[in-house]
Amino acid sequence: PFSRDYNKPRGHAFAVTDVRETLRTGAPKNAEDGPLPMACWSCKSPDVARLIQKDGEDGYFHGKWARGGPEIVNNLGCADCHNTASPEFAKGKPELTLSRPYAARAMEAIGKPFEKAGRFDQQSMVCGQCHVEYYFDGKNKAVKFPWDDGMKVENMEQYYDKIAFSDWTNSLSKTPMLKAQHPEYETWTAGIHGKNNVTCIDCHMPKVQNAEGKLYTDHKIGNPFDNFAQTCANCHTQDKAALQKVVAERKQSINDLKIKVEDQLVHAHFEAKAALDAGATEAEMKPIQDDIRHAQWRWDLAIASHGIHMHAPEEGLRMLGTAMDKAADARTKLARLLATKGITHEIQIPDISTKEKAQQAIGLNMEQIKAEKQDFIKTVIPQWEEQARKNGLLSQ
């Protein structure tokens, strides 16, 4: 689905709108239609926790994404991170909670049961319910975090290999692939801020003063540089411009290596296709496909993490470096294999210089996909909202 659409992230207030309107969720005509499972709502709304409480996890996860349309209608809010039903919350206490049971189990798997965690750990753990890598497990496509063997890229790779999991099979190289999703919690823990327990809240939701002089946690989640005096300046003596320069340089370093790895991966996929077309066997391709799988996974985990250049730049560069090594291994093996098939010339790559050209190269009919989506937005979403209104589910 990511080949259809991969937009710049927006804030929590757009969560429901964005998941409805992205091309990735398709254009389902009814509750049993569409390409994606119910799990794709899981980080978008407090209605998810309500449904899990009402129907249980099996009941919630069962079925297609479109089934949740009339039920999951409110944007991320208080109940996603706070126990709003507790007496303490009513008294103005934070009462942080993990509203997703699968997130609580994942934290236990890495030795961090939420109830025993300190206040600072809990602050980041509530963000880590959603800002994490995950996959869809079993027939019910339930959300699970791949942390059983640890949170480093190699640990998760090992876990996925052990259970023979793949998100999709690449249409060119026929490689069983992994798709990383926004692993901020994992990369934050690997960086200098995470290691010193400087939390998501410290940087993205600082304490600010209102007109009456009362301190409160700012829930307008954003870039720390937009609130420099209350965030970075609490610890750093450098001025804003100096720190912005450091972050920009780190971002550029990661982006430069990212582009180089991408180039190697693209060539590896097309060269693998050439080998398959020339009659390469499954046994001959297996070690090559393993290298491609691992290379792209490591590249993806590094770049799918929003802000890795700030959270863990060293880890980002390390992951991209190992991705480059794996991609180079794949291409070396491919060159040898292709030579045995009588192919010694360079494999030509189609023009993929733009998103549109890349989509065309893999055979996506984007005009049709976009037209179907627009019809869905105009016809199906209003029906969902009307049903939610009748059932008293909309908070606004």
pLDDT at residue number 337: 99
Structural domain boundaries of the chain?
1-145+370-396, 199-234
pLDDT tens-digit readout, 5-22: 988 878 999 999 999 999
Q: Work out the percent of the chain whose per-residue pLDDT is above 70.
A: 100
Fold entry, domain 1-145+370-396: Flavocytochrome C3; Chain A, domain 2 (1.10.1130)
Return the pLDDT at 178.
Answer: 98
pLDDT given at position 1: 79
What residues in the chain have per-residue pLDDT under 50? Answer: none
**Any bridge partners for residue 153, and if so which?**
none
